[in-house]
Structure 1
Amino acid sequence: MRLALLATALLSTGALAQAWQSDRGDGSYANPPLYADYPDPDIIRVGRDFYFITTTFANVPGLTIMTSRDLVNWRFVGHVIDRLEGRPEYELKDGGAYRRGIFAPSLRYRDGVFYIAVTPVGEPTRIYRSRDIRGPWTMNRLSEEAFDPGLFFDTDGSAYIVTSAMADGTATLLTLDRDLKTITASRAVHFNKGAEGSKVVKRGEYYYIFNSIPRRLGMTVSRARSLNGPWETRDQIDDRTGGHQGAIVDLPDGRDYGFVMVDAGAIGRMTNISPIYWRDGWPYWGTPDAPNRVPATARKPIQGEAPAQLPASDDFGARTLGLQWQWNHNPLPGRWSLAERPGWLRLRAVQGQTIWDARNTLVQKGQGPVSRGEVVIDASHIARGDQCGFGTFGKYNGHIAIGRDAGGRLMLTMRVVEDVVADEGRTTQKTDTRVAAVPLTGSRVSLRTDMDYRTNLARVAYSLDGQRWTDLGGTFPLAYDWRTGTFQGQQYALFCYNPAGRGGWMDVDRFTLSGAERK
């Protein structure tokens, strides 16, 4: 790995900038509504409320759901899965479930019940259901593994899944029983080379299948008067014009809007919202005046909602973690607490050689285009051998770790660990770069991580008083690569591990996220 420690294009220093706000406050919005990694979107409307579900891979809790009244301003509803079950990799064994886990959910609603179809890697498709979008959710497994399942309820309430995998592009229609517990029929109904990520909607006399074509980062739409076909297919947009995986959702007044995922570099895969117009029975992205592209800015789909942002900062004063937080894989419940020291998050050291294989790493999404995370840490109880701290998590794990030297002094060390998969298998090579440690006077320290997604560079710093900051090391890369790392954009991470096993602990007073940048 070649770090940018000596790069001339350093992150700039100086003034503060506003955090990203999609809603411009004048009746318009800018894409993306959420400048963060919310991939594989599925959005439905029930009454006046829109619901957005997204992929979470090996993060826990899993399957995040958000809600909005205008498709622009979103708030968290909750998570569907409290704990990943069914594979030892979810416990960070055998290399973990990086790039695997839970992804590409399909959300639908019928007769007062919300349903989710999702297929964990290597497992049969699961159907979750709840009368309340906040849960609790119950689950049953089907007999087959439907890749990227597209759940669909026809106008008579009958249930189907359309599934297609890029390897052959054949769309298979699975017919389900009324209770969505049994597959009663399976039939290949369409061929669309390279297709996956199927989503099915019906408008008028036509059924429509929206598909992602990953080999060219594009999208197609197919239509037929019967789910059994014959289907005709047209190309839609691609990543150059707005995205490559998504579909459409209807507004209360009958208009349609599109939602689509776009690969956006180190921040991961973001979701854009676009007007849709119809011509000759086909949906088109954009407007007749600017066709076949997602607009950078547009009028809000529904007027009147106040600008809002998802929560990010946390003073850890609640009894439960905020919905913005997730664990990397299943956590060890006895090794963290919000109650042992009220108003603080306590992370006890768990066994691990690096942050990559240590349990109880707490993460949340990096925010773009530029964001800064700051934490306040009490290091009094960090023991010899512990590595506890704060930084980035993903393809590049850059952070400041707090530990003790042979004499027992607290030390700050900047580390960057790059994760490289050698052969698409489970063997991971790790390149570990360290910057000489500096002693910590006292036991209370503030740590800061800046991520600039315009340059794909990050840096870390520390402060003894929360006012005067000292950079530790130089800039290091940010990156997204679906073949390595986490299959996610770079995240903020709090961690505490010890190669020898249990050690001490780190207390975190607060986490603050801002859109601050230095010029």
Structure 2
Amino acid sequence: MRRALTVTLATVMLTGASAVAGAQAWQSDRGDGTYANPPLYADYPDPDIIRVGQDFYFITTTFANVPGLTIMTSRDLVNWRFVGHVVDRLEGRPEYELKRGGAYRKGIFAPSLRYRDGIFFIAVTPVGEKTRIYRSRDIRGPWVMNRLSEEAFDPGLFIDRDGSAFIMTSVGSDGTTTLLSLDRDLRRVVGKRVVHFNEGAEGSKIVRRGDFYYMFNAIPRRLSMTVSRAKSLFGPWETRDQIDDRTGGHQGAIVDLPDGTDYGFVMVDAGAIGRMTNISPIFWRDGWPIWGTRAAPNRVPAVATKPIQGQPVAILPASDDFSSPRLGLQWQWNHNPRPERWSLTERPGYLRLHATQAPALWSAANTLLQKGQGPFSRGVVALDAAHIVPGDQCGFGTFGKYSGHIAIGRGVDGRLTLTMRVIEDVAADKGTTQTTDQRVAALPLSAERLFLRTDMDFKTDRASVAYSLDGHDWRTLGGDFPLAFDWRTGTFQGQQYALFCYNPGVKGGWMDIDSFTLSGR
């Protein structure tokens, strides 16, 4: 199976992941000096972007996915490469081990990234914990962490021109904006003061331009964004509405280019794909930033001139032949993995997933995830199911509000079976899911090497699954099923691809994955 694959995509970035045949679902860089929004057609929410020299760095929310806090880099804000992740494991709560229902919609989110005197700093507040400060001289890590005495929601880290450090924080349920003053080493809170009130505001981000400080805030209840300005961080602040999800997005800020001009980045709720990040030209009028262009102000353009010309096209890796001894940076586990239950070396050239003990998918450790990509993407896995044993449920499909998949099992007669089912998350962290009417009875198989396929169409928010014995003749199993995003249930993320293997019993077998191939329409 592996030997028949032809390598056509050599987009291996700052990780050891190898690519296999298949085209990416989306390319923002149009090749003519322009780009189309979004630069990344996938769920990269709560963006914070800074520039250091010629390089831009983008950090994003990862919730209970591990490793956590993804960082990417670019030289033009359009073509991005993975740098790495800040957190190897989630610590401090039993839910991170998928106990007590798990930490769905929790974990780590809304990080803030800044740089001073050769050191990168990240402020982030895990759910129910004090704010953490991570620091490293290398954006790739390793990162050292200390905790502050305060729990600053959506912390907006800001370092002023004299090197003094602050965190601006506001909670959308209130809107009271509080400024925390930090010591020089960003290890202690040395001052705390309410400086502004902006009803419904959260996600504060601070930049300084000329004599003014500018604070950008999301207003989630209106899916809009405001900007406030003041000549002192302590106020008084003057606030104006900016854009909203109809005109481009509701949470973000601006970043300066090497030539001194500014560009905006902003998150938009985009349906089942999740929350995507757009970038936009910025111009200034009467000391206020205006999104868009002078010809088309107050909206993020669908297509625009690239902020910086001359950079080559870069596409984040997605496909993988698992020939590296390390997982590619495009992959994350659902909650903390159990290292002894997966391997890239037990059978070189394959990812081996040992069945973990769990009653159902939502409580199964070692489910491996990758973001769904729009507007349409197809994931195909080639696998060897020879070592699946009775009781195992191993397979491939979607993961999110709706988890539609094909599960491979083994019947009492020793033959492999395929079952298609769709599970809707009602409140998985409380142990509540339901199987919808999309369930197909076990289908017997004569082969142990096969292909599974998952299609996700984010224009219609529908998906389907299929199987093949040779990778060419495909048979759809069951009907299509919905895709959705819901911050109250599900994962608070866009729909993802999922590889899984679990068994309700004590001991199970394993599934060997030969390759994962992502392609567009």
TM range (shorter): over 0.9
Give the equivalent residue in structure 1 for 2:380. 374
Partner of 1:26 in structure 2? 32
Q: Deviations over 1:255-275 (max 9, x none)?
A: 000000000000000000000
Size of the aligned set, in residue pairs, is 499
Contact 1:349 1:501 in 2 (8 A): no
Secondary structure, counterpart of 1:135 in structure 2: coil
Counterpart of 1:329 in structure 2 is: 335
C-alpha separation in 1, matches of 2:53 and 2:119: 13
Larger mean CA deviation between 48-57 and 412-421 belongs to 412-421
The answer to whether residue 471 in structure 2 is matched with residue 477 in structure 1 is: no
Match of 1:206 in 2: 212
Match of 2:131 among 121, 125, 136: 125
Distance 1:501 1:84 in 2: 25
Letter in 2 for 1:445: L
1:91 aligns with 2:97: yes
Q: Which runs of 5+ in 2 are unaligned?
A: 1-21
1:37 aligns to 2:43 (yes or no)? yes
Alignment-mate amino acid for residue 474 of structure 1: G
- 3-state secondary structure, aligned to 1:243: coil
Q: Distance in 2 between matches of 1:167 and 1:396?
A: 28
- 1: CA distance between counterparts of 2:460 and 2:485? 13
Contact 2:24/2:518 (8 A) holds in 1: no
Q: Is 1:307 aligned to residue 313 of structure 2? A: yes
Pick aligned residue for 1:460 from 454, 461, 465: 465
Q: How does 1:144-155 map to 2 (within 5 A)?
A: 144-155=150-161
Per the alignment, in what secondary structure is the counterpart of residue 430 of structure 2? coil
Quick one: distance in 2 between partners of 1:467 and 1:81? 40
- Per the alignment, in what secondary structure is the counterpart of residue 356 of structure 1? helix
Name the residue aligned to 1:431.
435
Match of 2:493 in 1: 488
Secondary structure in 2 matching 1:289: coil
Shift of 1:432: 4.7
Q: Tell me if 1:501 matches 2:506.
A: yes
Instruction: Identify which of 237, 240, 265 aligns with 2:271.
Output: 265
For residues 233-252 of structure 1, what are the structure 2 equivalents within 5 Å?
233-252=239-258
Q: Residue 262 of structure 2 corresponds to which residue in structure 1?
A: 256
**Is contact 2:65–2:335 with CA below 8 Å preserved after alignment?**
yes
Deviations 1:301-323 (A, max 9, x none): 00001112100000000010000
TM-score by length of 1: 0.95
> 1:113-192 to 2 correspondence within 5 Å?
113-192=119-198
**Structure 1 residue matching 2:292: 3-state secondary structure:** strand
User: Could you list the per-position Cα deviations for residues 98-149 of structure 1 after superposition, in whole angstroms to 9, with x for gaps in the alignment?
Assistant: 0000000000000000000000000000000000000000000001100000
How far apart, CA to CA, are the structure 2 residues paired with 1:218 and 1:135? Answer: 34
Q: What secondary structure, in the 3-state scheme, does the structure 2 residue paired with 1:151 have?
A: strand
CA-CA distance at 1:501 after TM superposition: 2.8
| Structure-2 separation of matches of 1:363 and 1:378 | 19
Aligned residue identity for 2:393: Q
Return the alpha-carbon distance in structure 1 between the equivalents of residues 120 and 348 of structure 2. 36
- Give the Cα separation in 1 of the matches to 2:93 and 2:176: 28
Q: Following TM superposition, by how much is the alpha carbon of 1:17 offset from its aligned partner in structure 2, in angstroms? A: 8.6
Whole-Å Cα distance in 2 between the matches of residues 331 and 282 of structure 1?
47
Aligned-partner SS, 2:340: helix
Tell me how far apart the structure 1 counterparts of residues 98 and 88 of structure 2 sit (CA, whole Å): 16
TM-score by length of 2: 0.95
| Distance in 2 of aligned mates of 1:349 and 1:153 | 47
Q: What is aligned with 1:440? A: 445
- Which residue number corresponds to residue 350 of structure 1? 356
The alpha carbon displacement at 1:502 in A equals 2.2
- Deviations, residues 443-473 of structure 1 (Å, cap 9, x unaligned): 1010000000000000000000111100000
State the percentage of identical aligned residues.
78
Aligned partners of 2:431, 2:195: CA distance in 1, in Å?
38
Instruction: Indicate conservation of the 8 Å contact 1:113/1:131, yes or no.
Output: yes
Q: Which runs of 5+ in 1 are unaligned?
A: 1-15
Deviation at 1:390, TM superposition (A): 0.3
1:283 aligns to 2:311 (yes or no) = no
- Check conservation: 2:456, 2:464, Cα contact below 8 A: yes
Runs of 4+ in 1 over 6 A off after TM superposition: none
Q: Distance in 1 between matches of 2:122 and 2:329?
A: 19
1:5 aligned partner: none
What CA distance in whole angstroms lies between the structure 2 residues aligned with 1:197 and 1:23? 29
Deviation at 1:428, TM superposition (A): 2.2
Q: Which amino acid is 1:340 matched to?
A: E
Q: SS of the residue aligned with 2:103?
A: coil
Q: Distance in 2 between matches of 1:501 and 1:478?
A: 33
Give the Cα separation in 1 of the matches to 2:310 and 2:360: 48
Q: Which moved more, 1:68-77 or 1:352-361?
A: 352-361
Provide, for residues 68-89 of structure 1, a one-character-per-residue CA deviation record: whole Å limited to 9, x for no partner: 0000000000000000001111
Paired residue type of 1:136: P
Q: Deviations over 1:307-341 (max 9, x none)?
A: 12100000000010000000000001100000000
Tell me, yes or no, if the aligned pair for 2:423 and 2:433 is still in contact at 8 Å.
Answer: no
Q: 1:413 maps to what in 2?
A: 419
RMSD in angstroms over aligned alpha carbons? 1.1
1:340 corresponds to 2:332:
no
In terms of mean alpha carbon deviation, does 246-255 or 496-505 score higher?
A: 496-505
- For 2:135, the aligned partner's letter is R
1: CA distance, partners of 2:81 / 2:433: 38
Q: Give a deviation string over 1:370-424, Cα, whole Å, max 9, x none.
A: 00000011000000000000000000000000001122210011011001139xx
